[in-house]
Amino acid sequence: MRRIVVFNNVTVDGYYTGLDGDMSWAHKFDPEWTEFTNSNAKGGAVLAFGRKTYDMMAGYWPTPMAMKNMPTVAEAMNKQPKLVFSRTMTEAKWNNTRLVKGDLATEVRKIKSEPGEDIVIMGSGNLISQLAQAKLIDVYQIALTPVVIGKGRSMFDGVDKTNLKLTQSRAFGNGTVVLWYQPA
């Protein structure tokens, strides 16, 4: 059975994005973090997004700027299969993307039961909170970034208390700590 894995950068005060969508604080690159990011990109997972994050990603990763700034990640983002969950989109034009409509929990249960690679959700706070509430997320990879932004959006809005078990952690020289959790 496929797993649903969340990977998000989160501020120390618990936000994955500012109220205005700003995530510039999440980009604290150094050689160690760049190697980790490049290694993750080569993982071969299916990427999954809600509509807003999909639009943002599809607007950046296929560009020459993305290939210049992060060639390994850009190549993987453009090549890997992608899912976009949306009730309002009529088509998904980014290479290798499948548009998924219908009831979110039902569709994700179906996709999880299919053979294939894990499904990794990045960003997409609304998608994550709905799937967390439905108990469909198997792993949370949280990159805790050493910054406080004061106000923002939590990927857990509306989620009932959920106990998690720490399974792994790794600290980086740039101050970021990646924490791997599973539902307890």
Full DSSP string of 72-137: HHHHHHHHS-EEEE-SS-S---STTEEEE-S-HHHHHHHHHHSSS--EEEES-HHHHHHHHHTT--
- pLDDT at residue 74, as a whole number: 92
Q: Do the Cβ atoms of 71 and 56 come closer than 8 Å? A: no
Widest pairwise Cα distance in the chain: 43
The pLDDT confidence band at residue 133, using thresholds 50, 70 and 90, is very high
The pLDDT confidence band at residue 40, using thresholds 50, 70 and 90, is confident
- pLDDT at residue 114, as a whole number: 93
- pLDDT at residue 183, as a whole number: 95
- State mean pLDDT over 8-35: 89
Span 4-183 CATH architecture: 3-Layer(aba) Sandwich (3.40)
Tell me how far apart the alpha carbons of residues 39 and 138 are, in angstroms, rounded to a whole number: 21
Q: Do the Cβ atoms of 15 and 154 come closer than 8 Å? A: yes
Each residue's pLDDT tens digit, 82-116:
999 999 999 999 999 999 999 999 999 999 999 99
Each residue's pLDDT tens digit, 158-176:
999 999 999 999 999 999 9
